[in-house]
Amino acid sequence: MRIFTAIILSVIALLWTISFADIFSIGNISLNVLVLLIYFFTFYWNHWYGLLAGFFLGLCYGAFFYLPLGSYSLIFLSIVLGLILIERRIYKYKYISLLLLFIATFFFGFVEVLLKGISGKWIIIDLFTDVLPESILTALLGMGILYLVNRHR
């Protein structure tokens, strides 16, 4: 039953990111639902769900954009592997663990900005105007989800 739920959540997150992320964005800042989903799969379910979801969501997400096909899979898998390595060193039910979600979202945005091939002086501007607010927004939504997880636990 959990694998079915993981597949449904992954499809919903992928459709949200591809279809509706620009519609429901605040200015140019949108919520990064894929990193949020991979974070919660890796920490609160099984590591294998995070790895498989990261790989397949990266392939599907990369098919719709201009970057080489495996680059998003590589980014998502590196996020998942980093979370797996750090998971034993923190207590995942505290709100300080959302700092890892912020770092993962920032890493995803940073690598995405680097892969776009923008000139060097605009990378800093993109980091502060797009990537940083997106990371903060994703961490705030993660705080609400973690509150629900803690209440359910």
pLDDT digits (tens, 9 = 90+) for 140-149: 989 998 898 8
Task: Decide: 60 and 41 in contact? Cβ < 8 Å.
Answer: no
90 with 100: CB under 8 angstroms?
yes
Between CA 148 and CA 1 the distance in angstroms is 20
What would the two tokens of residue 100 be? 């890892």
Euclidean distance between CA atoms 24 and 33, whole angstroms: 12
Is 119 a residue whose pLDDT tops 60? no
The C-alpha atoms of residue 11 and residue 28 are separated, in whole angstroms, by 23
Q: Is the dihedral of CA 8, 14, 19, 24 positive or negative?
A: positive
Q: Using CA atoms, how far apart are residues 127 and 113, in angstroms rounded to an integer? A: 8
- Residue that has been written with the tokens 């919520």 in this structure: 31
Tokens representing 133 are 């607010």
d(CA 76, CA 146): 21
Predicted confidence (pLDDT) per residue in 5-21, tens digit: 888 888 898 888 888 87
pTM above 0.75, yes or no: yes
Give the pLDDT of residue 71: 84
